[in-house]
A and B are shown apart, each in its own frame.
Chain A
Amino acid sequence: MKLEVFDPSGYSEFMQQSQYASRLSDLKGKTIGEISNGEHGGWEVERTFPLIRQLLNERYPDVKIIPYTEFPSGVNGIDVDNIGDIVKARGCDAVIGGNAG
């Protein structure tokens, strides 16, 4: 007895990897934005991002970091169509996203 059935998982489309941003040559003198997808007070964001800031500043004294508190936060704050425009308007050369969940 043979059963031939449809795969129920739909299909995936062509992946446009070229849409990824080019990486930076270096972080020296760059502006980096922090984006938090966690609620305030959750996932220790108030501890992890300051530590990242400190570690990056030790390596790159002239790097400018815009803290997560200056951007929208939470899933519904950052999962918006214009989030790219928001960080671009602040002059970000790169973005670190987190925290965790």
Chain B
Amino acid sequence: MARIEKKGIPTFSITRKGFMSAVSSGFLAMGLGSDVAQHEFPLDMFLPGSDLTPLEQNIDALVDGLTKWRPGKETQGHKSVKVTIEGNDYFDANKKLNLTFLKNKWGDGLPILPATEEQVNWILSGTDLPKDTIVGKVPPLGRVATVESLATNLVMTGGRPEYLTVLIAVMKAFLDPLFRAVTVQTTTCSSYPVVIVNGPINRQIRLNSGYGCLGPDPSHPSGASIGRALRLIQQNIGGAIPGSGTMALFGGPARYTNIVFAEDEIGLPLGWKPLSVEMGFPSGGNIVTIYSAATTSNVNAARSSTEKVAVETLNRLARIMAGNYGNIFGDFNNNSVPGIVLMPRGIAQGFAALGWSKDSIKAYLWENSKIPYEVIKSDSVVFATGQEILRSYAREGAAWPLASEPKNIMIVIAGGEQAGHCYWLRYGPGPKNPVSAEIQLPTNWAKLMKNAEGDLGTAQLN
């Protein structure tokens, strides 16, 4: 609606209880004020067979919104400021700090560390960028994120300087228009960002690609810290507060730290490309790829010891992929990715030994996860949403594929040496496509690594 206003066409928004601030945030993100020509109606009015009397009673508000409404006074934005907390001792001050932050709707309810100037400067030693470098405006609120504000949020999560350059790359990808962060942030779906990192940096920053790669893992703490910092940025800067800036009905545990993990590149079978190469980057680069997931499924009894068992594993995966297609068809396009298959190296190498390639696995899953036409047609809401789009990809009466091409099904090697399980991360609304960005190492990287080794010991192979 803000884009329409900017074209000189007045708008009026019909909103439901609890959604007014989300609408206002959308206008703020477009550089307009937060007071919007809108009217809030009771939620009940939007439920099946509801009483529409409130609409009849408030039609004047709609007419006035298009004819009489005026925006409020212009307001000047402000730079970030410091907050001073006093306590009897450090413990008391830190306790009060945590309470104050919660009152300001900063933080996630878990303890945070104080982002003092000393600590923020320590984190800022992890980049060559000036601290006032603008990273972008974070929707829906559209507040400005700088390198310093990223560092501030990273301090709060217990982060380290060597994580900052990864977080900056993640934010660059997050704010790429193809990621459609405003939808990721505001959707009613309980989805969350998923970040996969490729390159030698994974071992250097202790990012997990092996057992328990989705966390938690005290030997590999960086994923939780970077992912939690991203979530705090989404919330503290972007305004993704439940019930206003984010309307996710359920939220969920993955929203505390999002999902940040490494691909097990050492475990890739010969000839299998890492995700970053499939995303168009040269092999060996330090690359982040961001995606959004709404649900996860552990796929049990996944093995590749014989051809029969391997095919059964793929059939089981395909059934799960097809069983909960969620928003896949509403956002379908040439490059849309329906989800990510996580496959431990123990299974991937078994498939490779049987002659399967990454591409042939994708082709098998693509073919066998199609939704039969009679099933999708009987799902009237999803069918109505997707039928125009899918017309270009499936002939009338044919089964609907989860992606335009098999290559769009992502397979990432992670989870360790063992067989037994795969994992399916299914698409959550927002991203038109996954987005990748290169991580820029600072000039003092070797020193940072030495410091990290002093603090945490030698980084282990996953």
Question: Given that A4-B116, A20-B5, A83-B4 are known contacts, is A52 also in contact with B92, CB under 8 Å in the complex?
Answer: no
- Return the CB mask of B1-39 against A: 1 if under 8 Å, else 0: 101111111111111100100000000100111100000
Of the residues B14, B69, B385, contact of A74 by C-beta under 8 Å: B385
Contact A9 B93 (CB under 8 A): no
Residue ID in chain A nearest B152 by CB atoms: A6
A20 to B68, CA, bound (A): 13
CA distance in complex: A12, B34 (Å): 12
Please tell me if the beta carbons of B70 and A23 are within 8 angstroms of each other in the complex.
Answer: yes
B255 proximal to A (CB < 8 A): no
> Can you sample 16 A-B contacts with CB below 8 Å?
A1-B93, A2-B86, A7-B80, A8-B106, A9-B237, A10-B149, A15-B77, A19-B6, A23-B67, A27-B66, A27-B67, A40-B384, A79-B182, A79-B183, A88-B9, A92-B9
Contact string against B for A residues 14-53, beta-carbon threshold 8 Å, 1 for contact and 0 otherwise: 1111111111111100001001000111111001100110
**CA gap between A39 and B86 in the complex, in Å:** 50
B386-415 vs A, Cβ < 8 Å mask (1 yes, 0 no): 000000000000000000000000000000
Interface contact B80-A23, CB-CB below 8 Å: no
Which partner residue on chain B sits nearest A81 by CB separation?
B3
B316-336 residues at the A interface, CB under 8 angstroms: 330-331
- B417-436 near A? 1/0 per residue, CB < 8 Å: 00000000000010010000
Q: A23-B70, A48-B45, A97-B12 are in contact. List 16 more A-B contacts (CB 8 A).
A: A9-B236, A10-B144, A13-B144, A14-B74, A16-B74, A19-B5, A19-B6, A23-B69, A40-B381, A41-B384, A52-B55, A59-B63, A94-B66, A95-B10, A96-B11, A98-B14
**B residues touching A (Cβ–Cβ < 8 Å)?**
1, 3-16, 19, 28, 31-34, 41, 43, 45-48, 50, 52, 55-56, 59, 62-63, 66-90, 92-94, 97, 101, 104, 106, 114-117, 120, 137-138, 141-146, 148-149, 152-153, 156, 180, 182-183, 187-188, 232, 236-237, 247, 330-331, 380-381, 384-385, 429, 432
B55–A27 CB distance below 8 A: no
Report which A residues bind B (CB closer than 8 A): 1-27, 32, 35, 39-44, 47-48, 51-52, 55-56, 59, 74-76, 79, 81, 83-85, 87-88, 92-101
Contact of A8 (CB < 8 Å), options: B69, B86, B156, B188: B156
Q: Which of B13, B31, B68, B330 contacts A15 (CB 8 A)?
A: B31
The number of residue pairs between A and B whose CB atoms lie closer than 8 Å in the complex comes to: 263
Interfacial chain B residues near A96, Cβ < 8 Å: 11-12, 14, 62, 66
- Give Cα distance in the complex from A19 to B15, angstroms: 22
| Inter-subunit contact A22/B8 (CB<8 Å) | yes
Known contacts being A21-B11, A55-B56, A79-B182, is A12 close to B78, with CB within 8 Å?
Answer: yes
In chain A, what residue has the closest Cβ to B100? A5
Question: Is B10 a contact of A23 with CB atoms below 8 Å?
Answer: yes
The answer to whether A5 touches B106, judged by C-beta atoms less than 8 angstroms apart, is no
Contact A5-B116, Cβ < 8 Å, known A19-B31, A44-B50? yes
CA distance A100 to B14 in the complex (A): 6
CB neighbours of B47 from chain A (8 A): 44
